Structure 1
Amino acid sequence: MDRDLALELVGTIRHDGAGGVADDWGDLLRTSAWIRDRAELLAVGVEADGFAADEALRRELVALRQAVRALFAQAVRPSPPSPADAGRLMPADRALAALNAAARREPVIPQLEWADGEPPSVRLLSDGPDFRMRLVAALARAAIDFLAGPELDRLRACTAPRCVRYFVRSHGRQEWCKPSCGNRARVARHYRRRSTTAADAEPSQE
């Protein structure tokens, strides 16, 4: 399972560019578009054209995201979690149980594939006919693969003002998920330094 799918799952909560938070699963239209845009990556039989999610599926996806973001928050400790979750994190034991339950929803059969001249690989064959079950379980498995994988130690919450993303650090000193967040953070630091200097320079009123 592509680890980017786990990061895209948690990234459905993001900074909206105007000081607030946008939710890519906030309504049925946005949820449907998100799934259609990732039909190939999800590989669960989604039709890219014409697919429409229903409210039951949207709620399941939101519940899964809540669990995975809680586990991401635990993974980045002692650093603070994303500010989008800081005040309402699901307890880690509940999050773990919810994630594992979502992954169990689709019975799968591992199949070893080994083409001549290629390294062996594993393909999971679904034993479940229900599309919703396949979709939620696929996202849950992507999160499990990431959380149990080698990149977990490099997971970070972006420290830029207003950003709520998690990212995998690509080098030792990386603090931000993308260059625009770095620019925003540097501007904020410069403003704070100027404000502090100006305050210190004001004459005493005593």
Structure 2
Amino acid sequence: MVELLALDLASTIRHDGNGGVTDDLATPEGLTSWVRARSDRLGSWATRFTADDPDWHQVISLRQATRTLLARAVRPGPPSPADAHRLLPLDEAINRVNTAAAQVPTVPHLQWLDDSPPRQRVTAVTAPPTPTLTATLARATIDLLTGPHRPDIRACTAPRCVRYFVKGHGRQEFCKPSCGNRARAARHYRRHRDQTPADT
């Protein structure tokens, strides 16, 4: 589903398997590979896409806004620990998404007031520019946050994981089975450690 591109974008910041965090979009080349791998959802143009510095900066800026909005969506649960300390102010995150989405002829605007769910308002643009990657990703973010999946957005709580995901069933706690395995192993280790008498 196209709206889940927003989660794919957010998940380009991920656990590296060694206790740290890695960024799949650390370079324009990384963005090129990421876009080409999603041509089935972005369209045939993505197979020929080559990111330049402006593309890269725009997508990184949009990703920060998307992760900020996902952090708000999971409240009162905690945000991902990867960037909880550097989330944007809500107004700035919404403005970045709306500005990126405005690069296409019909513009969805995200509106999110304090005590109401986010909603989408669509307006027409009189002189539409050419659609861009950031517009497509921004629209995916708006669709995700205003669509039926928003109540099921979660931040994975497995040790060291920094992903957001959409809960697929009532008992799902983690973004993928390997995170569930890691969380169970960590719980087992803590129980064993707490039950073992300290050496004297």
Establish whether TM, by shorter chain, passes 0.5: yes
| Paired residue secondary structure (2:165) | strand
Give unpaired runs (5+ residues) of structure 1: 110-125
> Is 1:58 paired with 2:49?
no
Give the Cα–Cα distance (whole angstroms) in 1 for the partners of residues 106 and 89 of structure 2. Answer: 28
Give the Cα–Cα distance (whole angstroms) in 2 for the partners of residues 47 and 137 of structure 1. Answer: 14
- Please list the CA deviations of residues 106-145 of structure 1 after superposition, one character each: whole Å capped at 9, or x if unmatched: 2239xxxxxxxxxxxxxxxx9433xxx5211011001100
**TM-score relative to the length of structure 1:** 0.82
Identify the residue that residue 118 of structure 1 maps to in structure 2. Answer: none
1:39 Cα deviation (Å)? 2.2
Identify the residue that residue 141 of structure 1 maps to in structure 2. Answer: 139
Identify the residue that residue 175 of structure 1 maps to in structure 2. Answer: 173
Residues 47 and 93 of structure 1: CA distance in aligned 2, closer, same or farther (over 3 Å): closer
Candidates 99, 102, 107, aligned match of 2:100: 102
Identify the residue that residue 154 of structure 1 maps to in structure 2. Answer: 152
| Paired residue secondary structure (1:19) | coil
**One-letter code aligned to 1:156:** R
**TM-score relative to the length of structure 2:** 0.84
1:21 Cα deviation (Å)? 1.2
Identity value in percent: 52
Give the Cα–Cα distance (whole angstroms) in 2 for the partners of residues 168 and 106 of structure 1. Answer: 27
Give unpaired runs (5+ residues) of structure 2: 108-126
Candidates 185, 189, 192, aligned match of 1:191: 189
Identify the residue that residue 202 of structure 1 maps to in structure 2. Answer: 198
Aligned CA RMSD, in angstroms, stands at: 2.2
Larger CA Rg, structure 1 vs 2: 1
> Is 1:15 paired with 2:12?
no
Identify the residue that residue 29 of structure 2 maps to in structure 1. Answer: 29
**One-letter code aligned to 1:31:** L
**One-letter code aligned to 2:129:** G
Identify the residue that residue 115 of structure 1 maps to in structure 2. Answer: none
Count of paired positions: 183
